[in-house]
Amino acid sequence: MPFGLDHPYWVTDPKLDLDFHIREIHLAKPGMVDQLADQVSRIVGRPMDRTRPLWEVYVVDGLHSGRWALLTKYHHATIDGAAGQLMLKILTDPDADAPAPGSGPLWVTEPVPSTVELLRRTAVQLARNPFKAMRIQARLVGKVAHAAGVNSVSGAAGQAGAAVKAVARLGRPDGPRIFPTTQAPPTPWNKSITSHRRFAMRTTSLANVKALKNATGGTVNDIVMAICAGGLRQYLLSHDALPERPLRAMVPVSTRTGDEDDPWTNRVSALVAELPTNCADPLERIARCSEAMQNAKRTLDMVPADELVDLTQLSTPVLTTSAVRLASRLRLADRFAQPFNLVISNVPGPRQPRYIAGARLCHQFPVSIVTDGQGLNITVVSYLDRLDFGFIADRDLVPDVWDLADMHIDEIGRLFEASGAEWVQPPRPPHPRRGRVRRDQPDAIC
């Protein structure tokens, strides 16, 4: 948009070059999984060309097991995790012998708006923003007050004040305070990031996680959070960097209802929950993760996510972009504490096998993003009967990300030992760090 006065509009690219967007990479021998991870790290660390559609696809062959990998890279401004799963469904088939798709309708591009037309749209949008803001504010205050049980307060100011007080303690005068009064404790990765990344991947049995859930009374997500809390605790202990206070994780939450007119959007809110990394007892970590997630979900339920998402559309891009760039240039993440330590995302994936050109999709390892102040991201995707973990980090802040990944898998064993739960699928034999797969164990990554 001219001068960054309004948010960009999506248009079809009249000069789409598929050769630019779809690329092939061949791994050098022996084609180990850590070589694949190194290539992923280099690819996701490169900024995307914003003069072209914001997506790339890489076909990677040369893996020693005879398998190949498909890396899809797209800008988070285009789609979120749920839309990414929809994209996977489009790219894959439900059966190995699915017929090749026929030719679709002729692709027709739309004309790119002129600068004058873009300025006209911007003027209309800016004129509407004040009225839109008032409507959103009224809905936001009313919904928060109603959710908090404050229905008798008259007047917007009084209603807002009473609502905030009620939400701050979950609607109960003696309830636990859920608005944090302090920032997250510092960790090695809560600093300004570089343009270089490290990536690691690990997988575990979903049936084993469900066995832990049944033995401890939590949910699958509680167990995932407890695995992360334990793995991060061991990593920080090994670096003599474990804070006395628990870490805080930002957990994205989809606000999709299924009734969206356009599925290719971002409809994501978030909650912030404590990770009991300062707790030595594995079972207590599960209990505290469960309590923290319940409190965070109650908070999210009381704050209308749709209205908050709509509010973000009222900002002026030129101001927000300038502020973000200035903060990065001044390395403010090195000077100030952060509201949370990392992002942990749990995305539901297909429960039935998917195929590409007859080849079965074995794993779906997620590759997310990191930002200034949060140089580590853990994303988990459920696929078939397992959970696939993707660990992405700044190359300098978390140089031993494979060790961190292995510590998360080790934590599962500690949870089984502490809970007395029965393994549904026996754990695989130990294997060397950094994902180097023995030739007699082609699936040791699992």
Which residues are identified as catalytic? 76
Any alpha helices (H) in 276-400, and if so which ranges?
282-302, 305-312, 317-329
Rounded CA separation 167/172 (Å): 8
The token pair that represents 143 in the structure block: 């919904």
The token pair that represents 189 in the structure block: 């990765």
118-139 burial: b if 16+ Cβ within 10 Å, else e: bbeebeebeeeeeeeeeebeee
Half-sphere exposure of 442 (CA within 13 A, CB side): 8
Computed from CA positions of residues 45, 12, 88, 98, in that sequence, does the dihedral angle turn out positive or negative? Answer: negative
Measuring CA to CA, which residue among 8, 69, 11 is closest to residue 43?
Answer: 69
The token pair that represents 340 in the structure block: 């949370």
Which secondary structure element, helix H or strand E, spans residue 251, and what is its range? strand 247-254
| Residue 168 near residue 178 (C-beta atoms within 8 A) | yes
Measuring CA to CA, which residue among 129, 163, 158 is closest to residue 148?
Answer: 163
The token pair that represents 162 in the structure block: 């009473």
Q: What is the dihedral of CA 98, 89, 92, 437, to 10 degrees?
A: -140
| Residue 207 near residue 385 (C-beta atoms within 8 A) | yes
Residues 6+ apart with CB under 8 A from 355: 92, 93, 94, 95, 96, 98, 361
Rounded CA separation 182/228 (Å): 22
Rounded CA separation 278/325 (Å): 34
